[in-house]
Amino acid sequence: MPLISRALLLLVLCLASSAAMAQQRNTPVDDAIESIRRALNDLRYTEAVRLAKDLETDAPRMRSSQAAVFHQIFALAYFPEEMEFQKPDSSLRQLRALVRVRPDVEIEPELRWTGLDSLLAIARAETFAVGIETAQQLELAGASPTGDVTVFTTRPTRLRLALVHRTSGRSIVHDSAVVTGRGVMRLRAHDGMTAWIATGDYALRVSGVDVRTRDSITVSRALSANATPLTVAPLPMLDSARLQQEHEKPSRVRTAATGIAFGVLTSSLATTPRGGGLLARFYDPDPRAAGLGGLVALGGVAAAFLEKGRPLPAAVAANEGLRRAHADAVARTMTENGRALAAYRVTVRISEETP
């Protein structure tokens, strides 16, 4: 048994070593970039430019890390410290492409020199660019699961982060923000009721609009997700048809008639002379009384429209019971949904590649 166990252990170690070597193995693009780098190290700038031109058609399909290195060494091949080999316009074109790949990029220490740094500053100032940086794998779990996506911009930019399903084309906006320089946007697994990320393949898209010039740009990354099923029950609705009328039918006509009658009486008592007796000596007719009577009449009409009628205690109690039962049902459903959301898990893998 010990001999068999050791053999199995050796087999596992061999397989793991093979997998690690496969991951570390350079791609043809990596080999081509390394060839350009060797030519630069040997001061063979003309050859470096030729090799870089041969590889340039593949630049749009490179991973962002590969493209960042490629454009740096291509820019240096066009603008080395030796003045007789310098072509600043061609180098600036590569540095603009570099900024579009990585707005926050700095030239690698072994490649940088003062002149190239100055050209990079010009390229960054002239180029509107948005970049993405995130972990290759994100675990979104719990009642409020989010994953951070770091974004870089060369100008104040209004950004929107969305996931687009590769098969259905369905798009969901996960976050939006105004970012200057560097900011963080968030992927959201759900909105509390509906899963926003299900198992499948997506395009992660960050769209930006320059706040000043209104120029627009979109940066994409390939994203795959593996999610547990999420079942959330809809919140129960109150059946309004079961509610009873809580007041008697109001007698609006009688209320309005009473108000009008009191208005007419008020007006007539104040404007009609009090006969020729004692009252006539002390009280003169008041011409404003007509307006006062009119207000009393309008008040009666308004009261008629606002009148609800006499309350019906039995109906009020029955309706209150229905509302309490509905509130209890909503609370139970929310508790069950909370448990389902707490158990929800999404594993997100983000590639450097453009989908």
Displacement of CA 121 from its chain's centroid (Å): 31
Note whether 301 and 259 are within 8 A (CB). Answer: yes
Q: How confident is the model over 97-115, as pLDDT tens digits?
A: 999 999 999 999 999 999 9
The percent of residues above 70 in pLDDT, for the chain, comes to 74
216 with 164, same domain: the answer is yes
Question: Does residue 289 lie within any of the structural domains?
Answer: yes
CATH for 70: 1.25.40
Question: Does residue 140 lie within any of the structural domains?
Answer: yes
Note whether 153 and 208 are within 8 A (CB). Answer: yes
Range of the domain at 173: 131-233+345-350
Rg of the chain on CA atoms, in Å: 39
Q: How confident is the model over 155-200, as pLDDT tens digits?
A: 999 999 999 999 999 999 999 999 999 999 999 988 877 888 989 9
Count how many domains the chain has: 3
End-to-end CA distance of the chain: 50
Note whether 39 and 61 are within 8 A (CB). Answer: no
Question: Does residue 184 lie within any of the structural domains?
Answer: yes
**The whole model's pTM is what?**
0.64
196 with 280, same domain: the answer is no
**pLDDT of res. 221:** 92
pLDDT, mean of residues 45-61 = 93
Tokens coding 200 = 């499948």
Question: How many separate helices (H) and strands (E) can be counted in the chain?
Answer: 10, 9
263 with 250, same domain: the answer is yes
135 with 225, same domain: the answer is yes
Q: How confident is the model over 236-264, as pLDDT tens digits?
A: 888 888 888 776 666 656 655 665 665 56
How many angstroms separate the CA atoms of 101 and 62, rounded?
Answer: 10
Question: Does residue 340 lie within any of the structural domains?
Answer: no
Note whether 195 and 187 are within 8 A (CB). Answer: no
**pLDDT of res. 19:** 42
100 with 137, same domain: the answer is no
- How many C-alpha atoms does 11 have within 13 Å on its Cβ side? 6
118 with 146, same domain: the answer is no
Q: Which of 102, 127, 152 is the C-terminal boundary of a domain?
A: 127
Note whether 151 and 123 are within 8 A (CB). Answer: no
User: When comparing pLDDT for 120 and 20, which is higher?
Assistant: 120
249 with 199, same domain: the answer is no
Query: Residue 87 carries which DSSP code?
Result: -
Q: How confident is the model over 297-335, as pLDDT tens digits?
A: 566 566 655 556 567 788 788 889 889 988 998 899 888
Angle between helices 64-78 and 88-101 (to 10 degrees): 170
Question: Does residue 20 lie within any of the structural domains?
Answer: no
122 with 146, same domain: the answer is no
97 with 152, same domain: the answer is no
Using CA atoms, how far residue 110 sits from 102, 104, 122, in Å, is: 18, 18, 21
**pLDDT of res. 85:** 94
225 with 244, same domain: the answer is no
